[in-house]
Amino acid sequence: MNHSIDRRITKLYEAIENLEEIKKIDLKGFLASRYLPYAAERLLHIIIEILVDLGNYIIRKEGLPSPDTYSDTFRILCNNGILPLEYKDPLEDMARFRNKLVHGYLSVDNRFIFGVIENDLDLVKEITELLIDKISKIEKK
């Protein structure tokens, strides 16, 4: 597999594993921590960036139209059967969330960050596996 892609996948798994550790902490402990919300925020940012990178790699290799936005990446993947169509809205929300982390960081609510970890980590893991499986198939061609 492409070295750059391998490095991203390794980093993605590390970030997911770290969020799994954070997920073991209850909301009160999470909010009381001076560092965990910031760590979680950064880990979520890394995860979304890598998922977009992997998606863009697939799009390029499959000769699909180039996305203009982060949301477009997920929309293209879902509309072309690479990811399940029912994931399109949650993934577009994830892309918007990435933009908020990067550009609207002053208004990020730590309770919301905790909720994302609690409620969306399984989706992230599933998307990760689907994208990696597709990349493996592309690389075997």
What per-residue confidence (pLDDT) applies to 75?
97
Please compute the mean of the pLDDT values over residues 71-84 and round it to a whole number: 97
Task: Write out pLDDT tens, residues 36-57.
Answer: 999 999 999 999 999 999 999 9
CA torsion, points 116, 125, 41, 101, in degrees to nearest 10? -80
Please compute the mean of the pLDDT values over residues 102-111 and round it to a whole number: 86
What per-residue confidence (pLDDT) applies to 104?
79
Instruction: Identify the three-state secondary structure at position 126.
Output: helix
Residue 80: pLDDT above 90?
Answer: yes
Q: Place 68 in a pLDDT band, splitting at 50, 70 and 90.
A: very high
48: tokens are 């979304």
Rounded to two decimals, what is the model's pTM?
0.94
- The answer to whether the CB of 101 falls within 8 A of the CB of 108 is yes
The domains of the chain, with CATH numbers, are: 3-140 (1.20.120.580)
Residue 111: pLDDT above 80?
Answer: yes
Please compute the mean of the pLDDT values over residues 88-94 and round it to a whole number: 94
How big is the CA angle at 89 (ends 86 and 90), to the nearest 5 degrees? 90
Please compute the mean of the pLDDT values over residues 102-122 and round it to a whole number: 91
Distance, CA of 108 to CA of 58 (rounded, Å): 31
What per-residue confidence (pLDDT) applies to 37?
96
Residue 141: pLDDT above 80?
Answer: no
